[in-house]
Structure 1
């Protein structure tokens, strides 16, 4: 099993430039599939009926359609790779139906909730100035939290108000940010960050209390703390600010293609989900305000 999976994972890393988290997800899905089949079933002998049987097994365990669909996608990619490498001739995932996944509208904050959240950190402390800068930049650019914590000093053009960001698949994009985020970053980098470095040499912009690069988990805890402090009852995640960024832009007339480029979406259909959010919010406003709604 390992002899087959690892070359596939290496291909995903080198040829497609996928992140470590995504590679681990592929690996876990495939290891689960082959554990189900048992050691006596080589990967190259798998047939369509066994793939279908595994998907039925996942449903029997109560797995959501999204999980079943993701597992099938991992298995399908693996066998596409084996066919491509001429290790097998027939792909056992051909014509296996992908479970229908209901598209859920992303949760977004109101402009008022975002403003309360961004005002929650105390900028007069080193950590608070960092937290303020992180939150402002996240909402100003719509970047992912993994992209946020990976920002290096050389990635920022503070004078022009631009950020260079390396997204999924090592794709670079340039994203503008406004004056408020610019001022928060200047305050943090010039005053707060030097207090957090603890004499360590680091090019990472956002540092923790030990002077090391901020982690995803560390930022998650900070976000939860400030959401609670600002009275936000929505179950907020780092992606909530990304969703809010896109929705608020489209509500105010931003071009869909421009939002797609800033978010780093390869397919515009991914960005179009936010147009559904804006229509839903418009309908809610109409129903609540119109006397004959």
Structure 2
């Protein structure tokens, strides 16, 4: 049944790169899939192909590769994995890999999603992995905390005063990320024609997770920074932000850029400042300036308000702790 499905629906060449060098995560995944039959291998690529976002597909591919490596090192047939194997894998992710409960739970969910797909595609009778015990996570907490107003200002200024040929691009990227709050993958995948105008306002059209599109207002200052960059970039088609060789920027490049700027801005613990920090910063600053959780949810492209609430913990929550107000009554 699986063979017929793969041949007729998926296609025999689905796992072959379209041209050029395939991404590293695909090569690593391919190496770990050698123990799987060719039909199941095809279903792996079909499952990844279903993901609307290339970023999501890459993350799922890396998660599956890690699970297959875990199985291969222990001579475990992945197609015979049970709930107990999933429990053991979850504990290994936390204790052996030292991952947070949230990261371990996400990886288990990705693997379970693959098994569910195999069942639906006729490649497996049941998803016995589904009921594996996932680490408990606190949905209200996040290790990523937004910058304070003064820190965000310092980072934005460091970007504007950056040196080198790519200074205007640096300023435009950071201005966009701080003032609009997109995910880093959304920034690197923005096409030039995502910029526009609507009802007299400058806009940027962002394609988020699941292919969902949201149109955001681009503040005047961020628009000016982007215009300065466009004067150097030119109006040729393709990604908005290009490397010096005319190639799309990688998320890794943006991460390194943000950390360098955090050091140059003199921020506390700059090694903890990542692109996602800027997204949290947008959310917390917007909340502190009066934006409602629903408005921020819409701006960030979250499908759940619970996810947005994770972003709304103020970086000054210790300074603003209600204990201070209570103490004034007691002393």
TM range (shorter): 0.7 to 0.9
| Cα deviation, residue 215, structure 1 | 2.4
Within 5 Å, which residues of 2 pair with 1:186-205?
Answer: 186-190=227-231, 192-194=232-234, 202-205=237-240
Farther-moved stretch of structure 1 (65-74 vs 126-135): 65-74
Within 5 Å, which residues of 2 pair with 1:85-164?
Answer: 85-102=121-138, 103-120=141-158, 121-122=160-161, 126-157=165-196, 160-164=201-205
| Cα deviation, residue 28, structure 1 | 1.5
Structure 1 length as normaliser, TM-score?
0.83
4+ residue stretches of structure 1 with deviation over 6 A?
Answer: none
CA distance in 2, matches of 1:268, 1:213: 32
User: Residue 217 of structure 1 corresponds to which residue in structure 2?
Assistant: 252
Farther-moved stretch of structure 1 (152-161 vs 13-22): 13-22
Distance verdict in 2 for CA 1:91–1:136, change over 3 Å: same
CA distance in 2, matches of 1:6, 1:33: 20
User: Residue 89 of structure 2 corresponds to which residue in structure 1?
Assistant: 54
2:306 maps to 1:269? yes
CA distance in 2, matches of 1:124, 1:88: 56
| Cα deviation, residue 286, structure 1 | 5.3
Farther-moved stretch of structure 1 (171-180 vs 16-25): 16-25
CA distance in 2, matches of 1:18, 1:189: 26
Deviations 1:73-129 (A, max 9, x none): 133112212222233333212432211134335211111111111112337965211
User: Residue 236 of structure 1 corresponds to which residue in structure 2?
Assistant: 273
Q: 1:82 aligns with which of 111, 114, 118?
A: 118
| Cα deviation, residue 155, structure 1 | 0.6
CA distance in 2, matches of 1:129, 1:107: 27
2:288 maps to 1:248? no
Structure 2 length as normaliser, TM-score?
0.75
- Does the CA-based 8 Å contact 2:64-2:111 persist in structure 1? no
CA distance in 2, matches of 1:207, 1:187: 14
Distance verdict in 2 for CA 1:12–1:187, change over 3 Å: same
Distance verdict in 2 for CA 1:60–1:2, change over 3 Å: farther
- Does the CA-based 8 Å contact 1:18-1:168 persist in structure 2? no
SS in 2 for 1:175: strand
2:209 maps to 1:172? no
| Cα deviation, residue 29, structure 1 | 3.1
- Does the CA-based 8 Å contact 1:175-1:262 persist in structure 2? yes
Farther-moved stretch of structure 1 (149-158 vs 58-67): 58-67
- Does the CA-based 8 Å contact 1:109-1:241 persist in structure 2? yes
CA distance in 2, matches of 1:147, 1:15: 15
CA distance in 2, matches of 1:101, 1:91: 23
Distance verdict in 2 for CA 1:261–1:79, change over 3 Å: same
- Does the CA-based 8 Å contact 1:17-1:168 persist in structure 2? yes
User: Residue 31 of structure 1 corresponds to which residue in structure 2?
Assistant: 68
| Cα deviation, residue 9, structure 1 | 3.9
Please, which runs of 5 or more residues in structure 1 have no aligned partner?
none
